Amino acid sequence: MLPDYIDIGPEPASQEPINRFPLIRASELTAKPVVIQWLVADILEAGSLNLLFGEPAAGKSLFALDWAFCVAAGRSWEGKKTTKSDVVVIAGEGFAGLSRRLMALEKKYGLKAPDGLFISQRPADLIDEKAAQWVADSIVSLCPNPGLIIIDTLHRNMTGDENSSADIGQFVANIDNHLKPLGAAVLVVHHSGHGQKDRSRGSSSIRAAMDGEFGSTKEGCNVVLACHKSKDFEAFRPMQFTLTPVALDWCDEDGAALTSVYLEHAGEARPVEAKPKLSSRDEIALHCLYQAVEQNGVPPSQSIIKTFSGFDAGSTKKVVNIDYWKDLFYPRIDGENPDTRQKAFKRTRDKLFNGQMICNFDNYWWPIND
C-alpha cells in the first residue's frame, strides 16, 4: 500500500535574484565628499580617459613620455604631485627616437628610467576586440596593476577611420571593456585638426568620449600646454615650456654625439603678443641671419626636423651656425671693444628670439618665417 504522502525533502533555500542593474540612493552620493584620486595632480585623474593632441613637432609625445616617466618613478612633475604606478606606453611610431627621449629625461631628472615603465615594441590595432584583449593580457602578465596606459598615437594604433563615429565608438568601447578594467587611466595621443591647432583631428565623438582633453601648441620656439576639457575638475591655466637640447652619452656611426630634447617649464603661458618693433640694429641683425643662412646654411639635423615645425618633407629650409651670423653682424656694430659687441649681439638676438622671429637648437639658428 502506498503512503499518503511522498517525502520530497526540505524546501530549497530561496536564492537572491541577481541584480544586473544596481541603483543607489542619491543621499548616499551626497553623504560624503568625493575626493579625486590623481595620477598627476590637476591633470590626469586615476581611472580616467584622456586625449592629448597637437600638431607635428608641438611636443605632444614629449609631454606624454614625461608624465609616464614621472608617474612610474613616483616623482613630481613640474611641482605637481604624482601617484607612483606602473605605466605602459603603446608606441605606434618613432621607436628609434624613444630611447633618445628617455635618455634625455634621465638627464633632466638625474634618474635612470624607472623599472615600472614599459614600452611596446609594436603598435596595436585597438579597433579589433581580440587585439585589444591580447594587449590587456600582455599588460597583466608584466604589470598586474598598471596606473596609466598611453596610446601614442591614435592613428597608428587603429586600422579604422578616425573620421567615422562608428569606428571611434568601437575604439573607445575596446578601451572601456579591456584596458580600463585593469584599473588604469588611459591617455590617447592624437594629431590636431588640419589647419586647426585648438581641436583634435577626426570625428567629434573622440572629444565627447573623453574625461580630460589637452592641447599642445607651438608658439615660436615655445610650447604651450592647455586644458580644453575637464569633466570633473577645474582646468589648469596654460603652461609654457621651452625645448631644451641635451647631448646624450651615445654617438652615431660617424662618432658624432647624439642629441635629444626635453621640455623645461617656463611658467604660466603668456598671451601671444604682436611682434616687437625693430630698431635699425635689430633689422640689420635679422638681415645678417638671412644672409648667413644663404651663404653658409646647412640642412637641419634629424633632431631639429623632429623637434621643430617648418621642416616638412621636401623643404629646402636651412640653418646656420651662430659663428657665421656673428661674423656678418659684428662689423656692423659700433665700437671696437669685443665685450661691447658681444653684449650688443646678445641683446639683439634675445629680442628677435623673444619676439618669435628666430629660433635655435644647440649652436644653429634660423629665421622662423623664411
44 φ, ψ (degrees, to nearest 5): -110, 120
Closest CA to 100 of 245, 221, 218, 222: 245
- pLDDT of 312 strictly over 70: no
Question: Which residues neighbour 119 within 8 Å (Cβ) at sequence distance 6 or greater?
Answer: 88, 89, 91, 98
State the pLDDT at residue 313.
53
185: which 3 cell numbers?
A: 587611466
Contacts of 319-322 with C-beta under 8 Å, sequence gap 24+, read 319/293, 319/361, 319/364, 319/365, 319/366, 320/289, 320/292, 320/293, 320/296, 320/364, 320/365, 320/366, 321/296, 321/363, 321/364, 322/360, 322/363, 322/364, 322/365
Query: Residue 189 and residue 66: Cα distance in Å, rounded?
Result: 13
114: which 3 cell numbers?
A: 624607472
- 188 three-state secondary structure: strand
Across the range 97-120, mean pLDDT stands at: 95
Query: Across the chain, what does the average pLDDT equal?
Result: 88
DSSP 41-56: TTTEETT-EEEEEE-T
pLDDT tens by residue, 151-165? 999 999 999 999 899
Across the range 255-268, mean pLDDT stands at: 88
- pLDDT of 114 strictly over 90: yes
Whether the Cβ atoms of residue 186 and residue 180 lie closer than 8 Å to each other: yes
Query: Residue 138 and residue 89: Cα distance in Å, rounded?
Result: 12
255: which 3 cell numbers?
A: 662618432
- Other Cβ atoms within 10 Å of 227 Cβ, number: 18
- pLDDT of 5 strictly over 60: no
Query: Residue 51 and residue 207: Cα distance in Å, rounded?
Result: 8
Query: Residue 160 and residue 164: Cα distance in Å, rounded?
Result: 8
- pLDDT of 14 strictly over 80: no
pLDDT tens by residue, 175-201? 999 999 999 999 999 998 766 677 888
* From 42-46, 216-220, 250-254, the region with the lowest mean pLDDT: 250-254
| Domains of the chain, earliest start first | 38-268 (3.40.50.300), 280-367 (no CATH)
State the pLDDT at residue 8.
57
State the pLDDT at residue 302.
81
* From 41-45, 211-215, 257-261, the region with the lowest mean pLDDT: 257-261
